[in-house]
Amino acid sequence: MLSTVTSDKGSTRRDQARQTRRKILDAAHREFLERGFHGATMAAIARRAGVANQTVYFVFHTKTALISAVIDDAVLGPDDPTVPQQSEWWAAAQAAPTARAALESFIRGAAPLLERAAPVSEVLRAAALTDEEVMAVHRYHDGMQSTGYRQVVEMVAGKGPLREGVTVDTATDVLLTLCGDALWVQLRQERGWPFERLVDWIVTTAAEAMLAEPHR
């Protein structure tokens, strides 16, 4: 009986810790978007989350670590956290019969991720220009994105030829630009493009820029 009670208490504490972490991440995400990295404070994030200042520091230690966790959370998804390479849409891209189909499957699968992560990633990028500690975090996330996109290009190139004169490195740069945070924020938020219009345009533009057979 004692072991059961102890186990139940441990489970409750873990659930409470997860709920607290969730509240802080959600509050921080909104605060960073509204005030920028340097304008957001740990105290304001704590108030927004309904927790003590010390709790935010205990869970995340620094504001830099917190924005990094916010980006990770946006990339993985809050409801069912999944690394992109382990997602169903990544598997669908791997199983696609042609280069065009694989590229389109990836872009359409990654679009909701960009919708969540691009705005706060751009907050990080802006702050990195004047803060070396933030720059290190930006370089880490930028490197993760570059590595993942190169994996996609190599997968796509294995299903059909790239456009003449386009190397894997060049195609990776193209994909990083078209499926990048800056372009997403500019067209989606600043220019007001609807989600589906933007995704369709990226699919068409990426295929024409990267593939020898962009319509097959």
The pTM (predicted TM-score) of the whole model is 0.89
Q: What is the pLDDT of residues 173-185, one digit of tens each?
A: 999 999 999 999 9
Is residue 190's pLDDT more than 90? yes
CA distances from 168 to 42, 51, 137, 157, 182 (A): 42, 47, 26, 8, 22
Average pLDDT value for the chain:
93
Residue 162 phi, psi dihedral angles, 5° rounding: -75, 165
Question: CA-CA distance, 24 to 42, in Å (whole number)?
Answer: 10
Give the per-residue pLDDT at 34. Answer: 97
The DSSP H or E segment spanning 23 is helix 2-39
Which residues lie below 8 Å from residue 185, measured CB to CB, with a gap of 6+? 118, 119, 122
Q: What is the pLDDT of residues 113-128, one digit of tens each?
A: 999 999 999 999 999 9
Give the per-residue pLDDT at 67. Answer: 97
Q: What is the mean pLDDT of residues 144-157?
A: 97
Is residue 108's pLDDT more than 70? yes
Give the per-residue pLDDT at 13. Answer: 81
Query: Strand, helix or coil at 62?
Result: coil
Give the per-residue pLDDT at 77. Answer: 85
Is residue 32's pLDDT more than 90? yes
Give the per-residue pLDDT at 1. Answer: 55
Question: CA-CA distance, 28 to 45, in Å (whole number)?
Answer: 5
Residue 72 phi, psi dihedral angles, 5° rounding: -55, -45
- Of the given ranges (29-38, 59-68, 153-162, 207-216), which has the lowest mean pLDDT? 207-216
Q: Are 42 and 63 in contact (CB under 8 A)?
A: yes
**Dihedral of the CA atoms 105, 29, 37, 49 (nearest 10)?**
-170
Query: Strand, helix or coil at 131?
Result: coil
| One-letter amino acid for residue 213 of the chain | E
**CA angle, 195 then 200 then 206, to 5°:** 125
Give the per-residue pLDDT at 15. Answer: 85
Q: What is the mean pLDDT of residues 57-83?
A: 92
pLDDT band at 216 (very low <50, low <70, confident <90, very high): confident
